Structure 1
Amino acid sequence: MRDNKPLELEALNHICGKIGKINLKYAHPNYDQNGGDIIIQKDIDENTFKYINAQFKGRNISSKNSSIVIKESYVKDNFVLFVYLKIENDLNDYLFCFFSDDIIKWNLKQNNYRLDISKHTIRDKILDSFLFNNDRVQKLYSILDEQVEKHNLIIEYKKRDLIDNSINLWNITNSLPDSNLAEWLLDNIDFKNTYRYQDVFIACLAFMHSNELKSKAGIDYMFHSLSMYNSRLNGEINSIEIINEFTNDWLVTYNKSKLQILKLNYNNTKHNALKLIFGDNEERIECLLIDNEELELNYIN
C-alpha cells in the first residue's frame, strides 16, 4: 500500500504557503473539525472567529486515475476544498480550489460527494476552471466577508430579541425598562432590522425617559419613521384604565404629544398597553401597542 503521508504533507505545505502569500491567516487544528484540515481567517480582530473550513487532498496521478470523496455534511457555505495534484518529473504546481457550489455538482452517493480524477486531467485541462488563481482568491475573500456580515446580522437579531424580552417582562411584571436600557436600545439598535411594533415600543420608552436621556434626537427620528405606516387592531378594546401619563415641555415641535400607560381588555383578555400621541395641531401619530405585540398605528394630518 502506498504511503500518502509524504504527499499529504507536501500538499499541506504548498497550500499554506499560498494562503500566506494572499495575506490570509491559517491554523492547523490537532483534529479534523467539520471537515476542516486547516482554518482560514482574514483578520485578527473581533471577527476572528469567522473562518473558512478548508480541507486539502493530495493525489499522485502520474500513472493511474484517482478520486476525491467529501462527506455531504461538510459542505457548508464556508467550506473549501484544495486539491493538490502531482505528476512525477513535472516541476509545475497543480493546485485546485473547490467551493461548496462546485462540490454539490459532483456525484452524490450514500451521503458522500465524489469527484473522479483522470490521470490525464492536467494534459486535457479538465479542471482548469478550478485552478487556484486570482478569481478563486477573490471568492475566498468574499466568503470571509459574508461570514462577518452574517455574524453582524445575528448580533442585530439578538438585539431585536432583547426588545421582545423587554416586552415580555412588561407583560409579566407590569414594569417597563428603565432609562439606562432605553438609552442603550436607542444607541445600539439598527432600526433597519426591527419590526414596527418594536419601533413603537422604543419610541414610547424614549418619550417616557426623555428627561433622563442625553439625546433627544431619537424622538424626531421616530416621528418621521412611524408617520409612513398605518396598521389596525383586529380585536375589540374596552375597559381602558390610565395607569400613568407623561408629557414633555421641551417638545416644542410636537407640542400635543403624550404617552399613556394603560390597562385594558382586548378580545376579552386583560392586557397592558402603551398609547403614544405624537405631534402638533397640524399632524400627529397615534400609536396603541398591546403587550402581545399587536399594534394600531395611525398618521393623521
Structure 2
Amino acid sequence: MASGDALQGASGPDDVLVAEGLVRRFGDLTAVDGVSFRIRRGETYGLLGPNGAGKTTTISMVAGLIAADAGTVTVAGQRMGPAEVEPKRHIGLVPQDLAIYPELTARENLTLFGRLQGLAGAALTQRVQEVIELIGLTERAKDLSKEFSGGMKRRLNIGIGLLHQPTLLILDEPTVGVDPQSRNQILESVERLSVEGMAVLYTTHYMEEAERLCDRIGIIDSGRLQAEGTRDELVRLTSGADVIRLVGTGDTAAASTALRGLPTVQQVIADRHALQLTVNDAPAAVAQIVTSATAAGMSLADVEITRPDLESVFLHLTGKALRD
C-alpha cells in the first residue's frame, strides 16, 4: 500500500491518471500538500475525507481547471494543465454544482452538451438515448429539468459527463443533498461504469459510499493523503480486531472458559447472557466459536459480528471523526 507522499514505481500502460506531488496554496493556506495517486483503467478510486479536506481542489488540478503550485498530472499519457486542450478530451467532469439548463428537457440538455462535445447526427441521437437509459430517466426524458427532484438533476448532471464516453470520469460529491432512492440509483450507475472499463475518480465524505464503490481509497485530511489502499488494506492499519458477540442462555461460564482456549480468540468478556469475544478474523473464526460455545452448554439466540471500518481508519490516522 502506497502512502500519499510518493508514488510506488513507474507509470504503467493501464494508468489513466497519474497525479504526483500536487501542491496548491491559496494565500497562506496550503489546501493540497503533496498529494500523489494513480487510477487504472476500469478502476474506481475514492478520495475520502471531510468537507474542507482538499478533495475539490485536488480534482480541480486533475481536470486542469486550476494550476498546481507544484507537482504534475498526466491523463491518458498526456500532461494536464489549464492551457492544455487534448488531455481534457479524455475527462468527464461532474461538479458538485449542477451544470444543467432548467428550461430544457433532459433529452435537450444531453443533446446540447453532446454537440458541445463534438457529437452529431445519428451517433449523437444514439448516445443520448444510451445515457438516458443508464441514468434512469427514460420516462422523464421529455420533461423540463426544472421539474426534476434533486436526485434526478444529479443523475442528469452525471449523464452529461458521460456523453462523450470519457476515459476518466470525475465525480465530486455526486450524492450530496439527494433522497435515499436517488442516491442508490446514482451509486448503481457508478458501479456499472468501472465494469465497462472506465476509470472513475470519486470524492465523498460518506464512508459507506467509498466502501461500496471504490476499488482503492485515498484518505485525505488537511490537504494531505494520509494513506491509500483497498478497504481491507486500510482497515489493517488500525491493527483493530473483530468483535463477536454471543447472546444466549445456558452455561455461559463454561462457554467462556472453552472459548478462551481457542487460538483465534484474544479476549472474552462475559456478562449474564452474553459473551463478547475479540478475534483477528471473525468470518473465519465464527464457525468454530459457535460450535465450541454450544458444546460447552450455551444455547445461542444471536451472534453478532462487528468489524473495523473506514471510520475507524480515519480516526486512527487523524485523531478525529470523519465528519468532524
**TM interval, short-chain normalised:** under 0.3
Identify which of structures 1 and 2 has the higher relative contact order when contacts are C-alpha pairs closer than 8 Å and 6+ apart: 2
